[in-house]
A and B are shown apart, each in its own frame.
Chain A
Amino acid sequence: MATVIFSSELQRLTGEPRTEVSASVYRDLVAELASRYEAVHADDLMAMAVAIDGEIIHDPLLEQVGPGSEVHFLYKIEGG
C-alpha cells in the first residue's frame, strides 16, 4: 500500500492528513483518490506535479508506485 500525504490545502478536500492506497501505477492511484473523496477531482490532481519517494515528477501518468511508497502532490514548479 502506498501512503499518500495531503498538504494542508488538500486536507480541506479530503478531511484527513493521509491515506493508504493500493495502486501500482500513478494513474490508478489518482483514480482511487478521486473515487474516495467527493471533493477531489482526478483532473485537478493530474494537473499537479507529484513527489514519489522524494523524486519530483512533472506530468506523471504511468509511473510505478511501490508498496511502501510515499506520495506528495505538489504545485508544478517552473523556473527562470
Chain B
Amino acid sequence: MSEAREYKYVGTRSIRPDGYDKVTGRANYGADLSLPGMVWGRVLRSPHAHANIRSIDTSKAEAYPGVFSVATFADFPDSARDVIDLARNCLAEDKVLYHGHAVAAVAARTVAIAEEALQLIEVDYEVLAPVMDVRDAMLADAPVLHADMFTGGLAETPDTASNIAQRMEMSKGDVEAGFAEADVIVEREYYSPTVHQGYIEPHACTVRFDESGQSMIWCSTQGHFDVRANTAKILNMDLGSLKVIASEIGGGFGGKTVVYLEPVALTLSRKSGRAVKMIMDREEVFMASGPGAASRNLIKIGARKDGTITAMKARLCFEAGAFRGSPMGPGCMTVFTPYDVPNQYVEGYDVVVNKPKVAAYRAPGAPQAEYAAEMAINEVAAELGIDPIDFRLQNAAKEGTQALYGPTLKAVGLVECLEAAKNSPQYQTALAENQGRGLAAGFWFNIGGLSSVRINMNPDGTGTIVEGSPDIGGSRASMALMAAEELGLPSERLKPIIGDTENLPYSGTTGGSRTTFATGMAVVEAAQDVVRQFKERAAALWNVTPEQVEYTDGVASNTSGDDKLTAAEICAQAERTGGHISGTGNINARGAGPSFAVHLADVEVDKDTGKVTVLRYTAIQDAGKAVHPSYVEGQYQGGAAQGIGWALNEEYIYSKDGLLENAGFLDYRIPLASDLPMIDTIIVEVPNSFHPFGVRGVGETGIIPPLAAVGTAVSEAINVRLTDLPCSPPRVLKAIHDNA
C-alpha cells in the first residue's frame, strides 16, 4: 500500500530510452525485419460488403511464375473452429462480411508478382444485401449476417436468428420513481460513428514456419503473448513451438490487440518453406483491421431544481462489425459512473453489421457511452441554469459511491479534477461571438492482470529490466524509474527492454491502461527480489545474517559494524558469492485504481463554412502518481487529440452498397498538429492505495471527455443542440441553416 512520500526517481523526467533510436530511424518496427530467402505475402480482399462464397479457385495463382504458396480458410486446421470468428476474420470461410474481408493470400518472390497472382484467383460470389447501421441491423426483417446467431441475454433464447448478438441490462434503485421526482428531464439519442485508431504504423509481420518446432513471428503488436496464443490456436501449434517477438510499435491504441496477418503469413510460410513478410497498406488498415465501434445511444436524465440528479437511464446500441463482440459491456458499465445517483437503469445491445470487426479503441465503449451521457448532463445543467462544473460537483462520484456495475469506489479524483477545471486559466477566459465552451467528465476502470519481469544485474552494477509489455506509450521509461527507486540506483544504469515470448512467462497485452500499474508492480517485486539477494550476499561476505544488513540508496550497510558495500561492489563479487544476481516478479495485479478526467474545450465556428476551430483546450486527469510526468502529459494530450478528431471530423463513409469510400488519411481526416492549439494539461494526483507508488493508469480516460466537451462547445457556439458526431463542416452548416 502506498503512502505519501518523497521520491528520488519516480516523478522525474528522465530521457526516454527509446528516443535516440526513434528520431534517428534506427528503431525496428514491424516491417523492418527481413530474413534470408524471404518472400512477400499479399491478401485478396472482398469487393462486396456481404456475399456468400460459392467457390474459390486458386489454381491459376498457384501456377503463376514466382508464386511460392497460396492460402485460404481451407488451409486452417480444425482447431481454428475453437476460435472460429477470429479465424474467419483472418480468412473468410463461406461468407464475406465486409468490404475488404480477406478471402485468400499469396506468397511470391515480389510484392508485384503477389499482386498479379491475386488477380488470378477466381471467387464466385452470391452478393447479398448489406446492413450498415445498427438501427437497420436490429430490425426484424434485416438481412442476417449469421444464420446461427441467436440473441443472448434474454429471458428465453429466441428461435429466429438475429443480428443482435447479446443484450445486457444493469439497474439500481427505481428509475421511474426518480424521473417522477424530477423537475427537468432531458431525453435524446446521440450517434457516434465508426472511427479508426489512426496509428501511423500499419500492421506488419515477418514470420518463419519451422517444422522442427522453432517457428517465429516478428510483428507490431500490443501483446505478443496473445499473438502467440491466438495464432497457435488457429494453427493447432504448441505454444512452445512458436516464438513471438514484439517489434517497436508505431501506435496501437487498442487496434493492435488482435491478429490479422500472422496466422495467414505463417500458413503461407508453412506451405512455401520460406520466411514470409506481410504488410498492410493504408487502405487495408482502414478496410480490414479493427475500427472503433459506432453506436446509437438514447439517454434520459432527470434532476430536481436544486441540481440533484434523480434518475439516469440509457439504451446503448453498439455496432460490433462483422462478428459479435462490441464494447457494449464496458459502455454500459461506464456510462453513468461519474455520478452518485441512486436510480440508474442501463440496457445494452451488441449488434453485428457489414463492417470490419471492431477492435478496442482507447477505453473501448466508454467514449461513445459517456459522450451521450455528458452531452445530456450539460443540457440538464443549462436547463436548470446551473454552472456545468457546479452541477457535476453536486452529483460527483467519490469514495464510497457504489458504481452501477457493483463495487464501491475507493478514493478517486473526480472532485479534484472538477475543482482544477474551475480554477483553470481557461475557465476564467471570456468568450467572444461565435465561440462556445464545453466541459465533460470521463471515467475508465483501468485494469491489472498478469505481468512478468526479470531484472538481471551485471557485474558492473548496471542492470537490464526484461519485461513482457510492449511499450506503446512510454512505459519503459517508467519501469526504469520504478526499478531505480527500489534499487536506489540511477535509472540511467537500468536498461528496460521488451522480452520475447521465450524470455519470460506470460504477460498480458499492453492495454487497459494496465502497464505502468501492473507491470510496474512486477518491476517493484523483481527489484525487491534483487535487494533481498544484495542483502544475502553482503551478509555472507560480512559473516552476519541478512537481517543485520540495511540497504538504502544503492548501499548495503552492516548494522552491527562499519562495513558498507555499494550495489556495484556486491555485483562484482556475485560470481563468488552464489552466482549472478537476477530478480523476478510474476503477478496477477489487482487493485487497479480508476482514473477520472475533466476536459474543457473552447471553439469558434465559422458560420459561413461550418468549420470549427479549437481555440483553447485543457485536459485534467487523475494519475494517482505520475511516474514520468512528461509521458503522463503526453497521454493526456494524445487522448485529447484523438477525441477532438472523433468529435470534429472522423467517420467511416460507406456507399449504399456498403463499400468504404474514405480508406485513407486524405479523406479520413485526423487532426494534424496545425489543427490544434497547445493542449494544456493538469495532473491531479489522488494516490491509488493498491500500488506501491500510488499509480493509476492514464492511457485511456483522456479520449473520453473530448467528444462531449467539443460537441457541447460547438452546440453553444451555434446555439443549436447537436447530437450526431462528427461535428464536421457539412453537419454544422446544416444545423445552422435548419435553425436559422
Please report A residues at the B interface, Cβ cutoff 8 Å.
Answer: 5, 7-9, 12, 51, 54-59, 63, 70, 72-75, 77-80
Contacts of B333 in A (CB 8 A): 74-75, 77
Instruction: Evaluate contact between A9 and B170: CB separation under 8 angstroms.
Output: yes
Contacts of A5 in B (CB 8 A): 406
Q: Report the bound CA distance from A79 to B473 in whole Å.
A: 14
* Apart from A55-B690, A78-B360, 14 more pairs, CB < 8 Å: A5-B406, A7-B170, A8-B170, A51-B406, A56-B407, A58-B448, A70-B408, A74-B406, A77-B512, A79-B511, A79-B700, A80-B254, A80-B255, A80-B362
Contacts of B360 in A (CB 8 A): 78-80
Instruction: Evaluate contact between B407 and A80: CB separation under 8 angstroms.
Output: no
Instruction: Evaluate contact between B329 and A75: CB separation under 8 angstroms.
Output: yes
User: How close is B730's CB to chain A, nearest CB, in angstroms?
Assistant: 29
Instruction: Evaluate contact between A74 and B405: CB separation under 8 angstroms.
Output: yes
Instruction: Evaluate contact between A54 and B410: CB separation under 8 angstroms.
Output: yes
Residue of A nearest to B399 (CB): A54
Residue of A nearest to B171 (CB): A8
Q: Report the bound CA distance from A41 to B56 in whole Å.
A: 42
Interface of A is mostly: mixed
Instruction: Evaluate contact between B155 and A12: CB separation under 8 angstroms.
Output: yes
Residue of B nearest to A11 (CB): B171
Within 8 A of A (CB), among B586-618: 588, 590-592
Q: Report the bound CA distance from A51 to B168 in whole Å.
A: 19
Q: Known: A77-B447, A80-B255. Contact between A54 and B407, CB under 8 A? A: yes
User: How close is A33's CB to chain B, nearest CB, in angstroms?
Assistant: 15
Contacts of B359 in A (CB 8 A): 80
Residue of A nearest to B345 (CB): A8
Within 8 A of A (CB), among B354-380: 359-364
Residue of A nearest to B514 (CB): A79
Q: Report the bound CA distance from A58 to B333 in whole Å.
A: 16
Which of these, B330, B361, B588, contacts A77 with CB under 8 Å? B330
Instruction: Evaluate contact between B700 and A80: CB separation under 8 angstroms.
Output: yes
Contacts of B330 in A (CB 8 A): 75, 77
Q: Report the bound CA distance from A51 to B448 in whole Å.
A: 12
Q: Report the bound CA distance from A7 to B330 in whole Å.
A: 14
Interface of B is mostly: loop
Q: Report the bound CA distance from A56 to B155 in whole Å.
A: 28
Instruction: Evaluate contact between A78 and B512: CB separation under 8 angstroms.
Output: yes
User: How close is B588's CB to chain A, nearest CB, in angstroms?
Assistant: 6
B257 within 8 A of A: yes
B695 within 8 A of A: no
B123 within 8 A of A: no
The count of chain B contact residues (Cβ–Cβ below 8 Å) is 46
Instruction: Evaluate contact between B514 and A80: CB separation under 8 angstroms.
Output: no
User: Closest 7 CB pairs between A and B?
Assistant: A80-B254, A79-B512, A72-B406, A80-B360, A51-B407, A79-B511, A75-B329
Instruction: Evaluate contact between B155 and A80: CB separation under 8 angstroms.
Output: no
Q: Report the bound CA distance from A42 to B302 in whole Å.
A: 39
Instruction: Evaluate contact between A79 and B407: CB separation under 8 angstroms.
Output: no
From A51, A58, A63, A73, name the one whose CB has the most chain B CB atoms within 10 angstroms: A58
Instruction: Evaluate contact between A58 and B588: CB separation under 8 angstroms.
Output: yes
B153 within 8 A of A: yes
Instruction: Evaluate contact between B410 and A80: CB separation under 8 angstroms.
Output: no
Which of these, A57, A73, A75, contacts B448 with CB under 8 Å? A57
User: How close is B700's CB to chain A, nearest CB, in angstroms?
Assistant: 6
From A56, A57, A72, name the one whose CB has the most chain B CB atoms within 10 angstroms: A56
Which of these, A8, A54, A79, contacts B447 with CB under 8 Å? A79
Contacts of A77 in B (CB 8 A): 329-330, 333, 445, 447, 512
Contacts of B511 in A (CB 8 A): 78-80
Q: Report the bound CA distance from A7 to B591 in whole Å.
A: 21
From B155, B407, B409, B509, name the one whose CB has the most chain A CB atoms within 10 angstroms: B407
Residue of A nearest to B594 (CB): A56
B439 within 8 A of A: no
Show 14 A/B contacts (Cβ-Cβ < 8 Å), sorted by A. Answer: A8-B169, A8-B171, A54-B410, A55-B690, A56-B591, A57-B588, A74-B406, A77-B512, A78-B511, A78-B512, A79-B362, A79-B447, A80-B252, A80-B359
Q: Report the bound CA distance from A78 to B407 in whole Å.
A: 18
Q: Report the bound CA distance from A77 to B437 in whole Å.
A: 33
Contacts of A55 in B (CB 8 A): 590-591, 690
Residue of B nearest to A57 (CB): B590
Q: Report the bound CA distance from A9 to B404 in whole Å.
A: 12
Q: Known: A8-B169, A79-B513, A80-B360. Contact between A59 and B449, CB under 8 A? A: yes
B450 within 8 A of A: yes
From B511, B512, B514, B590, name the one whose CB has the most chain A CB atoms within 10 angstroms: B590
Residue of A nearest to B197 (CB): A80
B9 within 8 A of A: no
User: How close is B302's CB to chain A, nearest CB, in angstroms?
Assistant: 20
B253 within 8 A of A: yes
Contacts of A56 in B (CB 8 A): 407, 445, 447-448, 590-592
Residue of B nearest to A63 (CB): B590
User: How close is A11's CB to chain B, nearest CB, in angstroms?
Assistant: 9
Q: Report the bound CA distance from A49 to B646 in whole Å.
A: 30
Residue of B nearest to A6 (CB): B406
Instruction: Evaluate contact between B700 and A59: CB separation under 8 angstroms.
Output: no
Contacts of B513 in A (CB 8 A): 79
Q: Report the bound CA distance from A12 to B157 in whole Å.
A: 14
Contacts of A63 in B (CB 8 A): 590
In the complex, per-residue mask of B483-515: 1 if CB is within 8 Å of any chain A CB, else 0: 000000000000000000000000001011110
User: How close is A40's CB to chain B, nearest CB, in angstroms?
Assistant: 15
Q: Report the bound CA distance from A54 to B405 in whole Å.
A: 11
Within 8 A of A (CB), among B506-530: 509, 511-514
Q: Known: A54-B407, A74-B405, A80-B197. Contact between A9 and B255, CB under 8 A? A: no
Within 8 A of A (CB), among B190-241: 197
Contacts of A79 in B (CB 8 A): 254, 360, 362-364, 444, 446-447, 511-514, 699-700
Q: Report the bound CA distance from A56 to B511 in whole Å.
A: 16
User: How close is A70's CB to chain B, nearest CB, in angstroms?
Assistant: 8
Contacts of A9 in B (CB 8 A): 153, 168-170
Q: Report the bound CA distance from A5 to B514 in whole Å.
A: 26
Within 8 A of A (CB), among B323-339: 329-330, 333
Instruction: Evaluate contact between B257 and A72: CB separation under 8 angstroms.
Output: no
Q: Report the bound CA distance from A57 to B592 in whole Å.
A: 9
Q: Report the bound CA distance from A1 to B700 in whole Å.
A: 37
Residue of A nearest to B509 (CB): A78
